[in-house]
Structure 1
Amino acid sequence: MQNGQVKMVQVTGLRKKFGRRMVLRDVNFAFSTGDVIGLVGPNGAGKTTIMKGLMGLLAMDAGNVRILGQPVSVNTHTVVTQQVGALIERPAIYPFLTGWQHLQLMTTSEEQVRWVVQALQMEAYIHRPAKRYSLGMKQKLGIAMALVNCPRLVILDEPMNGLDPQSVKRLRHLIGQLAGDGTTFLISSHILSELEKIIDTVILIDQGEVLLQRTMTQLRESTRQALVVRTTENARGLQVLLQADYPVAQRGSNLIVTKPVALTPLLRTLLDAHIQILKVNQRQEDLETVLLRLLAERKA
């Protein structure tokens, strides 16, 4: 607890083995009401196992989960039923029911059903049987089922799968709107370029361990800036800069200088070699680059 407030989610010492394989190793993290958390990591890192543990869908070998201060396990998950909405792995859809009927199974409020259908722009097909839905339509229905009861915590596993760019943008806007009203989100996604637009905090998981939990502000403060240079002769430019001891590599049609350097001497080195410079700009690492670097450093 912090400042006398109960954390939305508190995970302590979570461990899980499947056979001989240790999937979760003493996982610890916590976050507060209204936060939008990104849970990221390579395939097989343990993200879905953590989400199932939070929902009380999977028995853990050790550790505990609390949501709003109440314990969650396979035998104790009243708080999950009342306060949590989730889409994990894939939507649980009955092919012969319409989308509207699926949502009616989740809530008695027709007003809430109308709200979520409109928010996700599902009006054109919501009364069709779900067996006639495309992948994107099914994904939207799964998200709608997670949101329709206005839960205090929403857990979404790869929610952008199958969505077109317009639907992804609309989902981002809706998550931001609901988070502003106090809904907490835990989102796992491999589409990090989209995820970094909406999350406040990132939790990086690898091989069942939490490598870091940082706010996006903290993460941006630790990002590296690269200098991007394009010339008329990149291959020769690369050799000239390497001979001058610059930390440089060629990627595609650009030369990337990976550590802070004084710009004027670098450009003078190229010009003195009679290499024409076409473009120079600075690029800050994005979320994907930072996380891949952190994973690589861990394995080095």
Structure 2
Amino acid sequence: MITTRALTKRYGSIVAVNAVDLQVAEGDRYGFLGPNGSGKTTLVRMLLGLVYPTSGEITVLGEKIPSRAARVLPQVGSLIEGPAAYPYLSGRRNLALMDAAGSRDSRKARRARIEEVLEQVGLAGLDARPVKAYSLGMRQRLGIAGALLRKPRLLILDEPTNGLDPQGIHEMRDLLIALNQAGTTVFLSSHLLSEIEQLCTRVGIVDRGNLVLEDDLTALRAPTGRVVVESPDSDKIAELLNGQLSDRAGDQLFIKHTDAAELNAWLVGEGLRISSITAERLSLEQVVLAATGPGADRIDGDAS
């Protein structure tokens, strides 16, 4: 669905995106991560033909970008750097203007499609208020509704949950999963690592313009070789497994072991009580922090 080869964008002496080879397969829910100023938005804008690369190649839906953008973009839904709308028009009127551009469908079919996408994003009860009176969360929902108007094969979203409350974030996650299961490939950038962890199947991490990591999320969150045990008998377990105990936090023990079920059976067989036991896995936050350097927006001074 998306492939880049040595994709590079320079602004004078500044390299915003540096020789990035990106691979997004059909059916992916792809999370694109990185610190502020790492080049995420620049790369996303290049995928849509909004910014031209300095060098390298981009293929979206099997077509070259930007030369074949007019052929590709009707099949792509996008929301980049916040939703755009005419502030003095209502949400429905904004969607009607967006949907009318290049559409050969009847007015009735277009109205039905608008109502469908408003229902999908939780705005079915929208009144005639102008967009300028909407909350940030309502504007974000409207922007995503606009991205869904053409029933896209590919969704490219930049911070799609921006401005949404916790319930709204949960609803948006469910919507994107449902769209993906119905055949839409989803590519999104977000700062909310917990959302990427719950939503995405594949992850790419960019730092200072470089793609530093790209893999399936399950592979990135591989077991660490430790088992986390919580028990009211933690002191006895710590004494019994002293040579295998690598860390402790109260009644929670971190034990060097590769099989949680085997360890659980052995401890129970020794008459010890187990509240919980699980194989430790890296969190996405740990993966990102290990793959990236200090934030690009830091300005550190001399300590002297």
The normalised TM-score by structure 1 is 0.78
Equivalent in the alignment of 1:100: 92
> Which of 69, 86, 99 matches 1:77?
69
2:203 alignment counterpart:
202
Q: Quick one: distance in 2 between partners of 1:69 and 1:15? A: 20
CA distance in structure 2 between the aligned counterparts of 1:296 and 1:77, rounded to whole angstroms = 32
| Residue identity matched to 1:224 | T
Measured after TM superposition, the shift of residue 254 of structure 1 is 4.8
Three-state SS of the structure 2 residue aligned to 1:71 is strand
**Could you tell me whether the CA contact under 8 Å between 2:40 and 2:206 is conserved in 1?**
yes
Match of 2:25 among 27, 32, 37: 32
Name the amino acid aligned to 1:81: L
1:281 aligns with 2:273: no
- Whether the aligned pair in 2 keeps the contact of 1:35 and 1:185 (CA below 8 Å) is yes
Give 1:252 deviation, angstroms: 8.5
What SS does the aligned partner of 1:155 have? Answer: strand
Residue aligning to 2:120: 119
Q: Alpha-carbon deviation of 1:136?
A: 0.7
Say if 2:168 is the partner of 1:167. Answer: yes
Residues 157 and 258 (structure 1), Cα distance of their counterparts in 2 relative to 1, 3 Å cut: farther
Of 265, 270, 287, which residue of structure 2 is paired with 1:291? 287
Q: How far off its partner does 1:198 sit?
A: 2.4
Per the alignment, in what secondary structure is the counterpart of residue 22 of structure 2? strand
Alignment correspondent of 1:90 = 82
Instruction: Report the secondary structure of 1:197's partner residue.
Output: helix
More RCO (CA 8 Å, sep 6+): 2
Deviations along 1:177-236, whole A, 9 cap, x unmatched? 22222211101112222222222211122222222322234334x23264445689x9x9
In 1, the alpha carbon distance for the partners of 2:250 and 2:43 equals 38
Query: SS at the partner of 2:26?
Result: coil
Residues 17-55 of structure 1: CA deviation (Å, up to 9, x unaligned): 233222211101222323221111222222111100101
2:223 is paired with a residue whose SS is coil
Q: SS of the counterpart of 1:14?
A: strand
Q: How many angstroms does 1:57 deviate by? A: 0.7
Corresponding residue for 1:139?
140
Matched letter for residue 92 of structure 1: A
Q: Structure 2: where are the runs of 5+ without partners? A: 101-109, 295-304
Of 60, 69, 72 in structure 2, the residue corresponding to residue 67 of structure 1 is 60
Question: How far, CA to CA, are the matches of 2:188 and 2:205 in structure 1?
Answer: 12
1:149, distance to aligned residue in structure 2 (A): 1.6
Q: CA deviation at 1:247?
A: 6.4
Give the 3 Å change call, closer, same or farther, for CA 196–36 of structure 1 in structure 2: same
What CA distance in whole angstroms lies between the structure 2 residues aligned with 1:291 and 1:200?
A: 15
Deviates more, 1:144-153 or 1:48-57: 144-153
Distance 1:245 1:225, change over 3 A: closer
CA deviation profile, 1:97-144 (whole Å, cap 9, x unmatched): 111111112213111101011111212335321111111111111111
Cα distance 1:218–1:112, how it changes in 2: closer, same or farther (>3 A)? Answer: same
Q: Secondary structure at the match of 1:53?
A: helix
Kept after mapping to 2: 8 A contact 1:56/1:76: no
Amino acid in structure 1 at the alignment position of 2:62: G
- Is 1:10 the counterpart of 2:3? The answer is yes
Unaligned ranges ≥5, structure 1: 1-7, 268-275
Paired with 2:127 and 2:257, the residues of 1 have a C-alpha distance of 53
Q: Is the 8 A contact 1:85 1:155 kept in 2?
A: yes
Q: In 1, are the aligned partners of 2:213 and 2:291 still within 8 Å (CA)? A: no
Shift of 1:259: 6.9
Aligned residues: 281
Greater shift, 61-70 or 198-207, is seen at 198-207
Alignment root-mean-square deviation, CA: 3.5
Give the counterpart letter for 2:224 in structure 1: R
State the match for 1:57 in structure 2: 50
> Does the aligned pair in 1 maintain the 2:207–2:293 contact within 8 Å?
no
Partner of 2:103: none
Give the CA deviation at 1:78: 0.6
- Equivalent position of 1:176 in the other structure: 177
In 2, the alpha carbon distance for the partners of 1:96 and 1:296 equals 43
